[in-house]
Amino acid sequence: MNITLNGEPHEVTGPTLADLLVETGQSGAKVATAVNEVFVPATQRAGTPLAPGDRVEVVAPRQGG
Spell out the per-residue pLDDT of the chain, length 65, in tens.
999 999 999 999 999 999 999 999 998 889 999 999 999 999 999 999 999 999 999 998 877 66
- Distance between CA atoms of 12 and 6, rounded to whole angstroms? 13
- Distance between CA atoms of 53 and 30, rounded to whole angstroms? 25
Q: What is the pLDDT of residue 11?
A: 97
- Distance between CA atoms of 64 and 2, rounded to whole angstroms? 34
Q: What is the pLDDT of residue 29?
A: 83
Q: Name the CATH code of domain 2-59 (choices 3.10.20.30, 3.40.50.1100, 3.40.50.620, 3.30.530.50).
A: 3.10.20.30
Q: What is the pLDDT of residue 28?
A: 84
Q: What is the pLDDT of residue 65?
A: 62
Backbone angles phi, psi at 23, to 5 degrees: -60, -35
